[in-house]
Amino acid sequence: MGIRVAVAGASGYAGGELLRLIAGHPEFDLVAATAHSQAGRPVAAVHPQLSGLNLMLTATEPAELADADLVFLALPHGQSGALAAQLPAGTKVVDLGADHRLADAAAWELYYNSAHAGTWTYGLPELPGQRERIAAADRVASTGCYAVATVLALAPLLRSGIAAADDVVVVAASGTSGAGKNAKTHLLGSEVMGDLSPYKVGAHQHVPEIKQATGALSLSFTPILAPMPRGILATVTARPLGGADPREVLQAAYADSPFVHVLPEDVWPHTAATAGSNSAHLQATFDVDSGRIIVVSAIDNLGKGAAGQAVQNANLMYGLPETTGLSVFGVAP
Amino acid sequence: MGIRVAVAGASGYAGGELLRLIAGHPEFDLVAATAHSQAGRPVAAVHPQLSGLNLMLTATEPAELADADLVFLALPHGQSGALAAQLPAGTKVVDLGADHRLADAAAWELYYNSAHAGTWTYGLPELPGQRERIAAADRVASTGCYAVATVLALAPLLRSGIAAADDVVVVAASGTSGAGKNAKTHLLGSEVMGDLSPYKVGAHQHVPEIKQATGALSLSFTPILAPMPRGILATVTARPLGGADPREVLQAAYADSPFVHVLPEDVWPHTAATAGSNSAHLQATFDVDSGRIIVVSAIDNLGKGAAGQAVQNANLMYGLPETTGLSVFGVAP
Amino acid sequence: MGIRVAVAGASGYAGGELLRLIAGHPEFDLVAATAHSQAGRPVAAVHPQLSGLNLMLTATEPAELADADLVFLALPHGQSGALAAQLPAGTKVVDLGADHRLADAAAWELYYNSAHAGTWTYGLPELPGQRERIAAADRVASTGCYAVATVLALAPLLRSGIAAADDVVVVAASGTSGAGKNAKTHLLGSEVMGDLSPYKVGAHQHVPEIKQATGALSLSFTPILAPMPRGILATVTARPLGGADPREVLQAAYADSPFVHVLPEDVWPHTAATAGSNSAHLQATFDVDSGRIIVVSAIDNLGKGAAGQAVQNANLMYGLPETTGLSVFGVAP
Amino acid sequence: MGIRVAVAGASGYAGGELLRLIAGHPEFDLVAATAHSQAGRPVAAVHPQLSGLNLMLTATEPAELADADLVFLALPHGQSGALAAQLPAGTKVVDLGADHRLADAAAWELYYNSAHAGTWTYGLPELPGQRERIAAADRVASTGCYAVATVLALAPLLRSGIAAADDVVVVAASGTSGAGKNAKTHLLGSEVMGDLSPYKVGAHQHVPEIKQATGALSLSFTPILAPMPRGILATVTARPLGGADPREVLQAAYADSPFVHVLPEDVWPHTAATAGSNSAHLQATFDVDSGRIIVVSAIDNLGKGAAGQAVQNANLMYGLPETTGLSVFGVAP
C-alpha cells in the first residue's frame, strides 16, 4: 500500500492535471477527489482525458480528506486556509493556491482583499536551501504559475548581484488554462483564438510573491492571455550591474535541478516543448541596444506552474527522488 | 540491462514521440536514434521537448541499428523494406510505415506506386486473435493513423453483421502532425490555423488497409486537415442490417482492451482527451433521419495512431503487459 | 438619406457581423441595435472590433425598431416570431433565426419543441427562382449556417438527377462562433483549442431545412465543433445515378452566382479562404473505391452562413445589386 | 478610369492583403501583380481567398510595372532599392519593405548587412506633420509592422516629455504571417500552434527604425512568435518623468487620426479586434509597483502593420481621404 493521496478541488484544470500525475505515480494511491458543484459526478465526466479512472468526485469537506496521508489543495484563493485548518495535524498538505505563500500579511490583504491565512514553507525547490526546508515541512505552499516562470529566470540574477533589483520589467504570456475552467464570455474559444490581450495590467497579484522569492525591489509585471491552452513564456529584463555572464549564472544555479534546462547558446525556449512536463526552459542574453539582461523562461502553467510543481514538492516531503512520477520531457508537437 | 532499442527515422514527429515513450519505458533502453539530414545533431536540437535526453542522431544505416534487440522504423513509405532486409534475422522490428501492412501487392502498387516489400503481421492488437499473432511475430507492421481510428470504429460492426459492408462512408479529420515535419507552404501555421480543408479526396492510400482489416467491400473515405497539432476524429457511417445495438457491439468487442474506451451513453469523443495517450475513445448511435449507424472515434495520431501503437506492439512481442510505458490518460486541456 | 436599418439581437456573433457589414454598406444607415442583457452598453464595449462605431445598444422591443425601414432579426430560435408580429406591416424583415424557415410545422415542432411561427420566403438566392421570390418579399427567412454549406453542395446534384435523394451522408465541421457567445464551459478556449468533437449526433435541427431545400429524402448529418473561430466545411457524399459530371453540374448551377465559386479542378476548398467574405467555395469528385459523389463546400458561418447571406437577401429585397456592401474576397491568412 | 496600380511581390502575405484592399478600393484599378517563383500562376491559385479575382501573376520586372501610376513594393528587404531605381520618375511608389526607411545608412548596414538604398519619406501618417510630408512625396517608405505598433504607443510619451527616452523596454508578440510565407520547419502549423517563442532576442532590425521615429535613446526590444495568423501586441514600458497622464497624452496625440483608437479607461487592446482592419488600439496606465508607464498597442500586422498602412499612405499621396478603401472595423471573432 502506497501513500494515500487526496485532491481537494479536483474539477478544475490544475486538479485534473494532479489526478493525471497521481494516477501515474508509483508511490501514490489516489483515494479521494473532491469538488463543489461537480461533486457526485464521475471524474471522467468532468475530465474526459481521464476516461478509465473510476472514481467519483465527492464534496470538498474535511471528512472526505481525513483518510489521506497527503492532501493537495487546488482551490480558489481564499479557500485553502479554512479547509487546511480542519485537516488532522499529521496530514501532509501541499497548497497549490495563493493563501499560504506570502510572509507579508499586508501584501496579501492588498492584492487579495481578504484575511491572511498564514505562511507555509515556500514550495519552489530550486531556490537555495529550499529542498531541505520542503523536505522538513508538513505544509508547503506551492508557487504560483507566473511566479515560477519569473522567479526561476530572475532569482539567480539578483542573488549573484549581476542585475539591479530596482529595475526589473517582466512581460509574461499564459495559455488560457491559467484563467481557469469557469465559463466566462471573454474566455470562450471564439474570443481567445487568434487573440492576444493583456489583463490586470499594472497590478497583478503575483508581484509580491515574486518580490519575496527574488528580492526584487521594483517589478513592472504585465500578464497577457495567449491563444493556446497551456504554457507560460516570461520575458524578464533587468539592468545589468556587471560581473558574470547571465547564462553562466543560470547554469550554475540550476546545475543540480533536474527540471530546469538552460538551453544551448542561442536556442530560445518554446512553451510547446514543456507541455505536459515539469520542466522549465531558460535562455539569457544581453540586449544589444540597451545593454539590459534579457532572460526568457518557458514552463507548462499546469505542470511546473501548478500540478507538477506540487507533486515535486510532495516527493521531497516524502523523501522520494524529486522526479518520481513526473516527466522532464514535453508532449510535442 | 533492459531491451536495447533503436529508432530509425527519429527526426520526424512519430520518431520524436517514440523517443519520448522509450525514454519513459521501464524495460527499454534507447541505444540509437537515426535520421537523414539531421544526422549528427543532438536529439534535443531537433526535438526541443526532449531537452535533457543526451543522445546524438546518427545516420540511418544498418550498422547503426545492429546492436539493437528491437528496432522501430519510422521512415517515409517505401524506405522500410530495404532497411529491414539488412537487419539481423533475430532483431525484432516494428514498422510504423506502410510498407509491410498490405497483403495485396497490387493494392500497394496502385496507391504507393512502387514495388511491394512484403507482408508482416498486422499490428492492431485489438483485432480478434491479433494479440497472439503479434506476440509470436518478430516483424510487425503497425497500423496507419487513419486506419486505427477507422478500423476500431468499423470492424466490430462488420464482424458482427449489424452493418452492411458495401455502404460505408468515412470522413476523418487529422491534426497537422499527421502531415509530417517537412517544410511545405500549405502546412505553415499561417495557412492551417483557422482552416479546415480536405485533401486526397476520393483516393486515400489508407483505404485498402482499412478494407483489409475490416472486411469492408466499399469505402468512401475523405480526409481533412484540421487546425490542431494532434488528433484524429473519424466519423464512420454505415447502413444498418439490424441486430444488436452498435454501442453494445463496440463494448463487447473492446471489453478486454485497456486502451479502447466506449464512452458512457450520449458522451461523444474529443480528440483533445486522447492527446499524449495511447487511448481511443468511441461512441455510436443511429441517425434519426436516415437510420444509418454513426460511430465516432478519437485518437492521438502520434499515440494510438503511430508511436504509442508501435510500443504497444513491441510490448506484446516481448511478453510485457501491453500498457507498459504507455498512458491511458490524455494530457488535457 | 439611405435605408434605415436596425438589428435586433446585436450582441451576439451574427449580430456583430451584421453591424460591421451595415456600417460598410453604401445604402444602409444603421439606426438601432438592440440586445437583452447588454442593452445600455456601447456597441464597442460588446464588440471591440467595432471601436469607433458610436452607438448604444437598446432593449429588444418593438418601439426601438419602429423607425427602421429594414430590420434584421438575429435572435435565439423561438424569439423571432413574436417580435416580427409586432413590427409595422411595411417594415422589411430578414430573420437570421430558424423560426420562419420551415414549411412543415410538424418538423419545426419536432426539432425545436415549440409552436411554429409561420413560413417566410426562403432566403437562399442561389436556388432556382429564389432571387425573384426574395425580391418580391417583405419578410425573408435567411438560411441556417450548416444548411447553406450543405444545400449549395447538394441541391444541384439532386435537381439534376445525378445523385440519389435517398442516400446522402453529410459530415460538417463548424468554427466555434456557430455555437454562440453565451458562456459555456465546453466552449472555453481551453476546451476547444486542439479539439475536434461531434455534437447533436444523429439529430441536428438543420436536417428538415436541408431536406426541404434540396429534396433529399434521407439525410445522415453529423456536425463537428472545430478549433477555429469561423468557418464551415461540409463534406457531402451521395450515391451516383449517372449522367453529367458533378463538378460541371455545380458550375452550371452557379454560373450567375457571384458568391459561389466552383474551384479549378483538383483544388479543394479551405474555410480560411472564405473568412470575412460572403463567398462559398465548392469542389466535387467521385470516390475511387465506392464510386460515391463527394462534394465539399466551405463558407464563413458568420458570412454566407449568417450575416452576409442576410445582407445579400436585403439587397435583393431593395433591388440593389446582390453584392452591395459585401465582399467576395476572404481575409486570409 | 481610376488610378492604375501594380503590386510587386504579390505572392506573399502582405502582397495578398494589398491585392484584397486594392480590389475593394473605389479609386484604384489593379493592373499588374508580380512575383518570382509564382509568376505565371493565377492570383487565386496562390491566394485562394481571392478566388474570383481574374489576374495572372507576372514576373517582377520593371517592364511589368511601367504602365502603373502607383506601385506598391512588397519585396524581401534589400530588393526594393534596385527595382525602384528602374521605375519611371513620375511613378508614385510605396515601399512596404525596409530598404528606404532609415536615415542612418550605418544603422541599415549594421542590421541588414547590405548597402543602403537611400531614404524616402517615412510613411507613418500619425506622426506630427507627416501627413503633409507624405502628401507631397512621390516615394514613401511605409513603416515596419513591429515599428507601427511600438511607435504609436511610444512616440507621444517621449514627444510630450512624460517618459524617459533612455529607459524603454518593449516586448512585442506577432502572429505568424509576420514571418512570411516561405516554407520553414519552425513555422509549420505543428510547431507554432500551442507555442510561444522569442526570436532575434536582443538584436531586432526594427530597433533603429523605432528609435528614429520616436527619439528613444535606448530600447530593449524582444519579439515573440505567437500562435495566431495575424496581429501584433506590443507592451511598451518606460520610466515616467511626471507631467500629464499617459492616456490623455495618447488621446491628444491621436484625436484626429481615424485609425488610432485610445480605448475607454480600463479596456485593454485585443489583437483580434483589429484583424482585417487598418486600426490600432491603445491603452495606458501606471504600474502600481514600479511606477513605470505601460502602454499596450494592438494592430493587424498585415493591416496597419503592412498593406493597410501602405494604402493609407497612397491615399494621402493622391489627396484622397486617408480612409478610402480601408476599414476601421475588424473582422472578429
D234–chain C nearest CA distance, Å: 18
Chains with 3+ CB–CB pairs under 8 A to C are A, B, D
Predicted local distance difference test score (pLDDT) of residue A110: 86
The 3-state DSSP class for residue A37 equals: coil
Cβ atoms within 10 Å, residue C319? 7
Confidence of residue A4 (pLDDT cuts 50, 70, 90): very high
CATH number for region D3-119: 3.40.50.720
| Interface touch D273/C51, C-beta < 8 Å | yes
Predicted local distance difference test score (pLDDT) of residue B111: 86
CA distance C221 to C209: 12
| Interface touch A194/C227, C-beta < 8 Å | no
Predicted local distance difference test score (pLDDT) of residue C93: 98
C244: left (phi over 0), alpha (psi -120 to 50) or beta: beta
A-B CB pairs within 8 A amount to 103
Q: Does D13 touch chain B (CB under 8 A)?
A: yes
Q: Could you tell me which CATH class the domain A145-301 is placed in?
A: alpha beta
Predicted local distance difference test score (pLDDT) of residue A205: 87
Sheet (strand C70-73) strand order: C57-59, C28-35, C3-8, C70-73, C92-95, C139-142, C121-123
Which parts of chain C register pLDDT below 70?
Answer: 1
The 3-state DSSP class for residue C111 equals: helix
Question: pLDDT per residue over A256-285, tens digit each?
Answer: 999 999 999 999 999 999 999 999 999 999
Strand partners for D232: D174, D299
> What distance lies between CA B96 and its chain's CA centroid?
7
Q: Does B224 touch chain D (CB under 8 A)?
A: no
CA distance D200 to B273: 35
Which parts of chain D register pLDDT below 50?
Answer: none
Chain C residue nearest residue B229, CA to CA: C194
Query: At residue A113, does pLDDT exceed 90?
Result: no
CA distance B53 to A277: 14
Mutate to test the interface with A, among D239, D290, D302 (most CBs of A within 10 A): D290
Please give the average per-residue pLDDT across B127-149, as a whole number: 98
Predicted local distance difference test score (pLDDT) of residue B145: 97
Write the single-letter amino acid at D176: T
Strand partners for D238: D168, D293
Question: pLDDT per residue over B173-227, tens digit each?
Answer: 999 999 999 999 999 999 999 999 999 998 888 899 999 999 999 999 999 999 9
Question: pLDDT per residue over C157-193, tens digit each?
Answer: 999 999 999 999 999 999 999 999 999 999 999 999 9
| Interface touch B332/A277, C-beta < 8 Å | no
| Interface touch C189/A185, C-beta < 8 Å | no
Mutate to test the interface with A, among B20, B30, B49 (most CBs of A within 10 A): B49
Q: Does C196 touch chain B (CB under 8 A)?
A: yes
Predicted local distance difference test score (pLDDT) of residue C77: 87
DSSP element (H, E) containing A72: strand A70-73
Cβ atoms within 10 Å, residue C103? 15
Name the one residue in this structure whose C-alpha cell is 460538417. Answer: C172
B264–chain C nearest CA distance, Å: 14
C102, C127, C145, C173: the active-site residue: C145
Q: Does B273 touch chain A (CB under 8 A)?
A: yes
Write down how long chain A is: 333
Chain C residue nearest residue B294, CA to CA: C202
Q: Is the bond leading into A48 cis (omega within 30 degrees of zero)?
A: no
In C91-198, where do the E strands start and end? 92-95, 121-123, 139-142, 163-174, 197-198
C-D CB pairs within 8 A amount to 103
| Interface touch C229/A176, C-beta < 8 Å | no
CA distances from B264 to A48, A216, B232, B268, B283 (A): 11, 52, 20, 8, 8
Predicted local distance difference test score (pLDDT) of residue B114: 87
Question: pLDDT per residue over A58-89, tens digit each?
Answer: 999 999 999 999 999 999 988 999 999 999 99
Burial (CB count <10 Å: 0-12, 13-18, 19+), residue A186: middle
Q: Which residues of B touch D272 (CB under 8 A)?
A: none
The residues, any chain, with a CB within 8 Å of residue D99's CB and separated by 6 or more, are D77, D78, D79, D80, D81, D84, D117, D141
Per DSSP, C244 falls in state S
Residue intervals of chain C classified under CATH 3.30.360.10 are: 145-301
| Interface touch D276/C276, C-beta < 8 Å | yes
Nearest C-alpha neighbor of A224 from the set B176, D162, D222: D222
| Mean pLDDT value across chain A | 97
Half-sphere exposure of B205 (CA within 13 A, CB side): 18
CA distance A119 to C298: 57
Sheet (strand B70-73) strand order: B57-59, B28-35, B3-8, B70-73, B92-95, B139-142, B121-123
The answer to whether residue B107 is catalytic is no
Query: At residue B1, does pLDDT exceed 80?
Result: no
Q: Does D273 touch chain C (CB under 8 A)?
A: yes
DSSP element (H, E) containing A18: helix A13-23
Q: Which residues of A touch D175 (CB under 8 A)?
A: 194
Point out the residue among D193, D277, D333 whose CB comes nearest to the CB of C229.
Answer: D333
User: What are the backbone angles phi and psi of residue D266, rounded to the nearest 5°?
Assistant: 70, 5
| pTM reported for the whole predicted model | 0.98
Q: Which residues of C touch B107 (CB under 8 A)?
A: none
Q: Does B195 touch chain C (CB under 8 A)?
A: yes
CA distance D123 to A61: 64
| Mean pLDDT value across chain B | 97
Please give the average per-residue pLDDT across A309-329, as a whole number: 98
Residue intervals of chain A classified under CATH 3.40.50.720 are: 3-119
Predicted local distance difference test score (pLDDT) of residue A326: 98
Please give the average per-residue pLDDT across A192-201, as a whole number: 97
